[in-house]
Structure 1
Amino acid sequence: MKLIIQIPCLNEESTLPITIKDIPKKIKGISKVEILIIDDGSTDKTIKVAKMLGVDHIVRFSKNKGLAEAFKAGIDASLKLGADIIVNTDADNQYKGSDIPKLIEPILNGNYDMIIGDRKTDNISHFSPTKKFFQRFGSSVVRKLSQTDVPDTTSGFRAYSRDAALRLNVVSEFTYTLETIIQAGHKKLAVGHVEIGTNGKLRESRLFKNITSYMKRSAKTIVRIYTMYRPMKVFVIGGSISVCIGLLIGLRFMYFYMIGNGNGHIQSLILAAVMMIVGFQLGTLGLIADLISNNRKLLEETLYKVRKIELTQPFEMGGNYEANTEITKNNNKQTS
């Protein structure tokens, strides 16, 4: 069994040594442990430090593309490098590397496809009360929409089986954490969680400027991804609300019309008609979107099979990984 630990990096020359030092070199049930760095356009010495630390593989972006793109590149590279299990962790040493064996154990046992590390965010001292509240609220929403029981849906410390990684298709440009859980839930993957420890805060988050910005972008991601997999439900609910509002306004007009005061409420009649038309249009869009969603499922299944066949071929290191991206093997890796 080959485990690849992928670490997205953006200017992490000071924190990367601490993070890598904490990663276990040998794990029971794993024959080979390798580290993959995804450099998201760093302008400091992250690459140089990574090579000095002896990481096994480096994926490099020529410019910053964001966390979601870095995650996708890491998953793709890990699959091409023959990973049986992929662990994603952060370069700021937020998560305890010593918990990696605990994180992958349920996958090794064959009980789960995807495991999320539960940080127990209510107990993290440097999280503000506001942040803790939104963590709980956001996680509860994602649990309901994904039909999973993951308590910490924004945790970036997670493990994927090879099959689960092959099935995931991240389309968000913001973050992968929420999207992959919703996708996994709707694809009927076995998603579990384990309690993990966290280290002290080394730097501020670079994913968002403030909690308001994070909530807005997260909400947008949740709505978008859920609509992709349950479009009929989303559009029918919206259409039903619009029709109901139109009916209520129409009944209000009928009341005034019956008492002989209808001429003064023609606007209500027009608004009622508009709301009901919009409602029926949303219902129609729901039918069309549902057909598109079913087609998407067929395409994703085809993509899964194609990738599975493609990735059975050995991957030669070096050369272009994708446009503006380079993947290399660290030939200067230190040995003990």
Structure 2
Amino acid sequence: MTKLIIQIPCLNEAEDLPNTLAALPRRIEGIDTIEILVIDDGSTDNTAQVARMWGVHHVVRHRTNRGLAAAFQSGVDAALRAGADIIVNTDADGQYAGEDIETIVRPVLEGRADIVIGDRGVGDNAHFGPVKRLLQRLGSAIVQRLANVHVSDAVSGFRAISREAAQRLNITTEFSYTTDMLIQAGRKRFAILSVPIRTNATLRPSRLFKSIPRFIVNTGITMARAYTTYNPLRAFVGFGLVIAFFGVVPVLRFLWFWVNGGGDGHIQSLVIGGVLLMLGALVAVFGVLADLMATNRKLIESSLTRLRHIEARLPQTAEPEEPVIANQRKGAA
């Protein structure tokens, strides 16, 4: 029996949610059960009530708004507890075509991928403006480099995840899960595929960010943090070598003047160079320590994965406590 759970993070989506739910598939070849999970991330409207009225199987509620990344992780955790073999994440605003869920699920179902990203064709998507196209392409190129994966639309939220991959992913960012997830998945050597999908025009602005500059800054911080977390030795040692290189230059300058009998007037070059060399070495040592901590984190993540396996075998006897409240409805379409 293969169960697919489609999760939809929501923030004040009572108006758009019914159309999104109506477009979701109820049958997919190779899938025995399809269930829908809505994550209400502290909405001030009646998003949760609308979800229940439309027969959603699972509703997860945050009492306060905790952000898209937290909503995504809460949804994944709830889907795993509900026995999902494949998890699909989609948006509540109807940007993604519900018919394409079968397209992104198929590679996971056939065992060809652990994670499938829906590619919106950012280079020529008619629903994107020129600035957004440029930023999407640039961001995807950077993520591909950092994660060492080939994904042409790195920030697409339309993605399918196998149960095994979901159990091993741990989103830690507070802004957006998309880039963090890909860098993490690349580091853990998951099989990742991109498949072309269709998009619909959205009339309202994004609720994830208030301006493009803010989005760029937050995404950049997320990528740098994720890369440093999963590649600490390379990040810190590389940065330390750059600092040390700038320290070598004034030291060589001092030596040049010293050899030619004029070193007394250029002591400041020796001091500056020595400080930079020591700083570079110190940063490199931090890299070694961070790499040892990363090894410890891998052991913790391995224990967490095993714990999730154990939880999946236990009967669901109680609802999760705050900050997540889950309400399950059976027998819904």
| TM-score, structure 1 as length reference | 0.95
Deviation of 1:215 after TM superposition, in Å, equals 1.2
Q: CA RMSD in A?
A: 1.4
Deviation of 1:255 after TM superposition, in Å, equals 2.3
Per the alignment, residue 16 of structure 1 pairs with 17
Partner SS for 1:87: strand
> Could you tell me which amino acid in structure 2 is paired with residue 125 of structure 1?
A
Per the alignment, residue 253 of structure 1 pairs with 254
Identity %: 47
Distance 2:302 2:144 in 1: 24
Query: What whole-Å deviation, never above 9, does each CA across 1:69-92 have from its counterpart, x for those lacking one?
Result: 100100000000011100000000
Deviation of 1:322 after TM superposition, in Å, equals 3.2
Per the alignment, residue 325 of structure 1 pairs with 324
Q: Is contact 1:13–1:44 with CA below 8 Å preserved after alignment?
A: yes
> Could you tell me which amino acid in structure 2 is paired with residue 59 of structure 1?
V
Partner SS for 1:36: strand
Q: Which runs of 5+ in 1 are unaligned?
A: none
Per the alignment, residue 149 of structure 1 pairs with 150
- Higher deviation after alignment, 105-114 or 116-125: 116-125
Q: Which runs of 5+ in 2 are unaligned?
A: none
Deviation of 1:189 after TM superposition, in Å, equals 1.0
Deviation of 1:193 after TM superposition, in Å, equals 1.3
Deviation of 1:325 after TM superposition, in Å, equals 2.2
Per the alignment, residue 139 of structure 1 pairs with 140
Matched, 1:283 2:284: yes
Deviation of 1:223 after TM superposition, in Å, equals 1.2
Distance 1:54 1:91 in 2: 16
> Could you tell me which amino acid in structure 1 is paired with residue 274 of structure 2?
A
Q: Is contact 1:80–1:314 with CA below 8 Å preserved after alignment?
A: no
Query: What whole-Å deviation, never above 9, does each CA across 1:299-318 have from its counterpart, x for those lacking one?
Result: 211211121122122324x6
Per the alignment, residue 222 of structure 2 pairs with 221
Deviation of 1:125 after TM superposition, in Å, equals 2.6
Deviation of 1:232 after TM superposition, in Å, equals 0.8
Q: Is contact 2:169–2:185 with CA below 8 Å preserved after alignment?
A: yes
Distance 1:17 1:323 in 2: 26
Q: Is contact 1:15–1:202 with CA below 8 Å preserved after alignment?
A: no
Distance 1:324 1:73 in 2: 9
Matches within 5 A, 1:35-184: 35-184=36-185
Distance 2:63 2:177 in 1: 21
Deviation of 1:64 after TM superposition, in Å, equals 0.6
Distance 1:186 1:334 in 2: 39
Aligned length: 332
Matches within 5 A, 1:302-321: 302-316=303-317, 319=319, 321=320
Distance 1:36 1:140 in 2: 32
Q: Is contact 2:57–2:332 with CA below 8 Å preserved after alignment?
A: no
Deviation of 1:52 after TM superposition, in Å, equals 1.7
Matches within 5 A, 1:262-273: 262-273=263-274
Deviation of 1:334 after TM superposition, in Å, equals 5.5
Distance 2:48 2:14 in 1: 8
Query: What whole-Å deviation, never above 9, does each CA across 1:54-111 have from its counterpart, x for those lacking one?
Result: 1111001111110011001000000000111000000000100000001100011011
Matches within 5 A, 1:176-255: 176-255=177-256
| TM-score, structure 2 as length reference | 0.96
Deviation of 1:51 after TM superposition, in Å, equals 1.6
Query: What whole-Å deviation, never above 9, does each CA across 1:106-140 have from its counterpart, x for those lacking one?
Result: 01101111100000012223422222112111111
